[in-house]
């Protein structure tokens, strides 16, 4: 009876997690610098919607607060940080040029403490503010050269920045990827010698960062410390710009500014797909709504050999290698091996052995 209850609980937990993951339609959002719009569509490009198509000058970076149902974006020409509901309603201007916004590009959110970070491209700065636009802070004012993309490692309080560098003696110099603390201290140069890096995204579970380079015509990745650089997507004569990751499904999404396309591929660069989005004109940055979670429990898949967690409204999982409960009351000391709960000792045999000894 106890075992039956246990199995019923696991089934119910799995069903609950399945409903949590599937009840929310998955979407991609992107900014258009060409026709000054913000759009969204299903992950395959179908059911495209124009969300905001008036009042924009040069929308660039975009980030989502899924639990609150909000999107944030930078407007480079208007020199503003804005937000709206995910359906495009209730547009708010949060921060303007008088408060430190100057050619803003990349934007990223720390939903744990309610902060947003953005990059001022031309003035070589990184700023931070509360999600409502209050408490504006200048974090970095030296050590960067035309920064553009930004991504956050919230658990370790680190920001990752793409640095586009400058032309000196007809050569592009000081390009690369830089890491800093959330307070702007301790700038570290992780990767150098890139051609023209744009936006950046992190796979924290795997310890990897991905970035788009429009001159190199591809998407590359490296460890979070900048080692083992690999070009995973090679799209010669094209210009990958914005980038976003679907970690659960192992997919990279990116925008192509030269031929006005949105594409995706596997993490290893295989199976490149042109997403079915028509009328794209100058796509810029991209963000994914993979279904908001509010707690680690909401991400549980019922598998005792995975550690499931909720990070910024997105579920992710990684393997568990320790002791596990296989649901059998007659076994003990079972371990997760190759993704399955196995091994252990039959407790009835142990009981018989003890009876013989006694």
Once rounded to an integer, what is the mean pLDDT over residues 91-115? Answer: 96
Residue 79 pLDDT more than 50?
Answer: yes
Counting residues of the chain whose pLDDT is more than 70, the rounded percentage is: 82
Residue 314: the pLDDT is 65
- Give residue 7's pLDDT: 38
Q: What is the mean pLDDT of residues 142-149?
A: 95
User: CA torsion angle for 330, 335, 340, 342 (degrees, to 10)?
Assistant: -40
pLDDT at position 259 is 82
**What is the DSSP-derived secondary structure letter of residue 207?**
T
CATH architecture of 25-289: 6 Propeller (2.120)
Tell me what pLDDT residue 348 has.
55
Residue 14 has pLDDT above 60, yes or no: no
Q: What is the pLDDT of residue 116?
A: 98
User: What's the predicted TM-score (pTM) here?
Assistant: 0.78
Residue boundaries of the structural domains of the chain: 2-17+296-357, 25-289
Report whether pLDDT(325) > 90: no
At 306, the pLDDT band (50, 70, 90 cuts) reads confident
Rounded to an integer, what distance in angstroms lies between the CA atom of residue 174 and that of residue 357? 74
Least confident of 87-101, 247-261, 320-334: 320-334
47 phi and psi angles, rounded to 5 deg: 55, 50
What is the secondary structure of 77-139 as a DSSP string? TTTEEEEEETTS-S-EEEE-GGGT-SSEEEEEEETTTTEEEEEETTTTEEEEEETTS-S-EEE
Report the DSSP pairing between strands 27-32 and 158-163.
unpaired
Per residue in 19-68, pLDDT tens?
A: 333 345 699 999 998 889 999 999 999 999 999 999 999 999 999 999 99
| Model pLDDT for residues 186-245, shown as the tens digit of each residue | 999 999 989 889 999 999 999 999 999 988 879 999 999 999 999 999 876 678 899 999
Rounded CA gap, 283 and 274, in Å?
14
The per-residue pLDDT for 176 is 93
């Amino acid at each position: 009876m106890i075992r039956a209850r246990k199995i019923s609980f696991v089934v119910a937990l799995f069903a609950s997690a399945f409903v949590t993951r599937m009840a929310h339609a998955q979407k991609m959002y992107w900014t258009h610098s060409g026709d000054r719009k913000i759009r969204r569509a299903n992950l395959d490009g179908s059911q495209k919607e124009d969300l905001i198509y008036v009042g924009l000058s040069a929308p660039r970076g975009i980030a989502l607060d899924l639990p609150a149902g909000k999107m944030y974006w930078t407007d480079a020409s208007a020199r503003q940080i804005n937000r709206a509901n995910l359906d495009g309603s209730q547009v708010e201007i949060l921060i303007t040029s008088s408060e430190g916004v100057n050619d803003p590009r990349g934007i990223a959110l720390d939903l744990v403490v309610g902060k947003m970070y953005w990059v001022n491209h031309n003035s070589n700065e990184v700023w931070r503010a509360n999600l409502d636009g209050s408490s504006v802070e200048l974090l970095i004012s030296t050590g960067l050269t035309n920064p553009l993309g930004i991504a956050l490692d919230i658990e370790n309080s680190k920001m990752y920045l793409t640095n586009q560098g400058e032309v000196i003696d007809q050569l592009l110099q000081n390009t690369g990827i830089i890491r800093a603390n959330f307070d702007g201290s301790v700038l570290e140069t992780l990767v150098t010698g890139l051609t023209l890096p744009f936006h950046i995204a992190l796979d924290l579970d795997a310890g990897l960062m991905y970035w788009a380079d429009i001159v190199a015509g591809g998407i590359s990745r490296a460890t979070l410390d900048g080692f083992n650089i690999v070009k995973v997507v090679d799209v010669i004569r094209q210009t990958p710009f914005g980038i976003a990751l679907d970690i659960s499904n192992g997919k990279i999404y990116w925008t192509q500014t030269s031929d006005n396309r949105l594409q995706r591929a596997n993490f290893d660069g295989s199976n490149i797909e042109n997403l079915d989005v028509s009328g794209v004109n100058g796509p810029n940055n991209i963000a994914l709504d993979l279904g908001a979670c509010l707690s680690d429990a909401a991400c549980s898949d019922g598998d005792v050999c995975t550690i499931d967690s909720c990070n910024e409204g997105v579920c992710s999982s990684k393997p568990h290698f320790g002791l596990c409960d296989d649901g059998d009351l007659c076994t003990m000391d079972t371990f997760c091996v190759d993704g399955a709960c196995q091994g252990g000792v039959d407790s009835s045999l142990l009981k018989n052995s003890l009876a013989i000894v006694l």
